[in-house]
């Protein structure tokens, strides 16, 4: 899988990013923005980006936490397959997530999209986005910020989509033109059943084309094989559904 790390200049510095393409396929190809989870850009998320690229896409996975260090510097040193390691790691990681405000994220996401679309081997037309955990919220923000660019988004084990705040993610849906795929986890304290129902109502009332489901028995973080939350069956369903979405909307 041809891959490389590139630097993307932003208003606040330089974001390192993983760029991957399929083997033996000549461009131009549709582009996909891969928005990482709270844990960061690391071997598991690069592996996931590679798999998506193998379907026939150029995939860009930025280190969205670049203000706090490079992907290598931020990579977990604890074994997150051990549930006891999660608490100390996330105590360290969550301040980075909260520090990435919507204002900062909007500017960054727009720069990432422009970088992706500006690559020689990326085709004209809509790009896709896929986001995990907090990355799902940022993927939705990308689609709301650049509705002319983002044609399809996947959101997986994404929490906090419905809040009492005036900036709640679900309130962005009227600005979205992309088709949305969301696969929630039914054992996710950050997205309880009542929030899932409210998000579904917001999707429907906004007229957004969508497919939203809840995977039974899956915890928050189910796609991440380097953590204790990994759920192989839910992960494979997410890949199958995402592949179908991108094939339908980006080609």
Q: What is the pLDDT of residues 195-251, one digit of tens each?
A: 999 999 999 999 999 999 999 999 999 999 999 999 999 999 999 999 999 999 998
Question: Can 165 be counted among the known catalytic residues?
Answer: no
Look at residue 124 in the predicted model and tell me its pLDDT: 94
* Active-site entry in 50, 184, 188, 231: 188
Look at residue 251 in the predicted model and tell me its pLDDT: 80
> Is-contact 181 249, C-beta < 8 A?
no
Averaged pLDDT, 105-117: 98
Query: Residue 42: pLDDT above 80?
Result: yes
Cα 114 to Cα 33, 34, 90, 146, 164: the distances in Å are 11, 14, 31, 10, 32
Query: Residue 146: pLDDT above 80?
Result: yes
Distance of alpha carbon 220 from alpha carbon 86, whole angstroms:
13
Phi, psi of 169 (to 5 degrees): -55, -35
pLDDT-derived band at 139, boundaries 50, 70, 90 = very high
Mean pLDDT, the chain, as a whole number? Answer: 96
Query: Residue 41: pLDDT above 80?
Result: yes
Q: Which of these, 132, 112, 104, lies nearest to 32 by C-alpha position?
A: 112
Question: Can 120 be counted among the known catalytic residues?
Answer: no
Averaged pLDDT, 71-83: 94
Distance of alpha carbon 144 from alpha carbon 121, whole angstroms:
25
Strand ranges (DSSP E) for 89-209? Answer: 127-132, 150-156, 179-187
Query: Residue 26: pLDDT above 90?
Result: no
Cis, bond preceding 8 (omega within 30 deg of 0): no
Query: Residue 1: pLDDT above 70?
Result: no
Averaged pLDDT, 96-120: 97
* Active-site entry in 184, 220, 231, 238: 220
Assessment of whether the complete model's pTM goes beyond 0.95: yes
Question: Can 226 be counted among the known catalytic residues?
Answer: no
* Active-site entry in 133, 157, 170, 231: 133
């Amino acid at each position: 899988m041809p891959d490389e790390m590139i630097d993307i200049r932003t208003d606040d510095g330089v974001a390192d990013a993983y760029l991957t393409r399929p083997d033996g396929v000549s461009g131009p190809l549709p582009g996909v923005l891969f928005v990482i989870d709270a844990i960061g850009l690391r071997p598991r998320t690069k592996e996931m980006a590679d798999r998506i690229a193998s379907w026939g896409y150029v995939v860009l996975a930025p280190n969205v936490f670049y203000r706090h260090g490079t992907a290598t510097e931020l990579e977990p040193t604890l074994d997150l397959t051990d549930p006891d390691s999660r608490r100390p790691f996330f105590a360290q990681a969550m301040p980075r997530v909260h520090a990435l405000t919507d204002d900062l994220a909007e500017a960054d996401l727009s720069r990432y999209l422009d970088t992706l679309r500006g690559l020689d081997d990326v085709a004209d037309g809509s790009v896709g986005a896929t986001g995990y955990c907090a990355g799902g919220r940022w993927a939705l923000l990308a689609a709301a910020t650049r509705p002319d660019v983002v044609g399809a988004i996947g959101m997986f084990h994404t929490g906090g989509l419905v809040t009492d705040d005036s900036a709640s993610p679900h309130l962005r849906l009227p600005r979205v033109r992309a088709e949305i795929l969301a696969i929630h986890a039914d054992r996710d304290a950050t997205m309880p059943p009542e929030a899932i129902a409210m998000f579904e109502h917001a999707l429907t009332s906004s007229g957004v084309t969508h497919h939203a489901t809840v995977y039974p028995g899956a915890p928050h973080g189910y796609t991440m094989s380097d953590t204790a939350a990994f759920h192989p069956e839910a992960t494979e369903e997410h890949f199958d559904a995402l592949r179908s979405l991108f094939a339908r909307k980006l080609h």
